[in-house]
Amino acid sequence: MANFLKRLFGEQAEPVVGVTPEELKQEITDLKKILRKQTVAMEMHKEEILDHVDTKCLKDFSNEALQDIADSFFHLEAAIRDAYQLSANQEQSFVISWTKIEHLLKLSGIETVRAAHVPFDSRLHEAVSTRNGADLPLQVVRVLRPGYLFKGKVVRPATVELGAKNSEW
């Protein structure tokens, strides 16, 4: 192995005397095992670094600012919907606005969790109440606060109210 390392680093290797081909094959096999272990260790280290970078990006001011904008728009929309019957044009305006906000979030790796009338998912939703003693299967009846995913990982679950799947809203 010493001769291999010397050749690897450009040093003059000593002549090999008295080494059998089987010993050389074993040395090559040993080196391959070491290389595989180092490759696996390097991949694990790479994943740790990428997770750290993702966490740092997650805390980045621009991502927080985008989430704050989305939260504000979510609550503004909810307040307007509670106070007024919306026309088709107003509904379309909200859809267009949400499309633009979600596009900006997606550019930063953020996805919103804000859909109602979907099955309850404990990974994505945090239930704070249920309506009418709902039975299984439970469904999200109302989203009280949107949730966020960053590159597929839950940053904040959506705060929701649950109801039975077939109940009246």
Between residues 4 and 73, the one the model is more confident about: 73
Euclidean distance between CA atoms 4 and 34, whole angstroms: 14
| Assigned CATH class of 59-164 | mainly beta
pLDDT digits (tens, 9 = 90+) for 82-138: 888 989 999 999 999 999 999 988 888 889 999 999 999 999 999 998 877 656 788
Euclidean distance between CA atoms 120 and 127, whole angstroms: 9
Q: Is there a contact between 148 and 110 (Cβ–Cβ < 8 Å)?
A: yes
Q: What's this model's pTM, rounded to 2 decimal places?
A: 0.60
pLDDT digits (tens, 9 = 90+) for 23-72: 888 888 988 998 899 888 888 888 887 776 666 655 554 578 888 889 99
Give 78-110 as a DSSP string: HHHHHHSPPPHHHHHHHHHHHHHHHHHHHHTTE
